[in-house]
Structure 1
Amino acid sequence: MGGPELLILFAILLLFVGASRLPKLARSMGQSKKEFHKGLKEDQSAEGPCPFCGVEVAEEAKFCPGCGKSAEEIIAEKKVTSA
């Protein structure tokens, strides 16, 4: 989105929401975005026991210290087994 599109969007928001409630709306949208990204990050952690070998994997680890599987493989397997 460019500058003119953002101005039009802002004007429409101003008409629907009103000038007095616009800062509160923007703040709540920012908090929602932050919580959403926090939830995504928590869901994508390889921390805990490795589903392949059972060895404990640290949160910041890129690979399992027991079997050498990557963090992406561990996360994908945890999603499959939890579903």
Structure 2
Amino acid sequence: MYEVGKCRLREILKAKKMTQVELAALTGISKQQINNYINRQHIVGVMGLGTLRTIAEALKLDSPYELYEMVKIAQSPEEAASD
């Protein structure tokens, strides 16, 4: 089983050599809101699904799921036995 981890927006912007201002212009999302997503990475789920998809498309990601880390969580013995 997996859960959503931290937001990867900062590292994706850096890899694409794109600024928060440029992303804001492409998406219509304010620079302040983009900065909020980046700096509140420890809070899971701050980005709604529509926003997630809008940003993923602007960044030309294969999947919106790339914007967040996916963390495998420990399974209970019962779940492990059913695998």
TM-score above 0.5, yes or no? no
Higher percent of residues as helix: 1
Higher percent of residues as strand: 2
- Bigger relative contact order, structure 1 or 2 (CA pairs below 8 A, ≥6 apart): 2
**What is the TM-score normalised by the length of structure 1?**
0.30
**What is the TM-score normalised by the length of structure 2?**
0.30
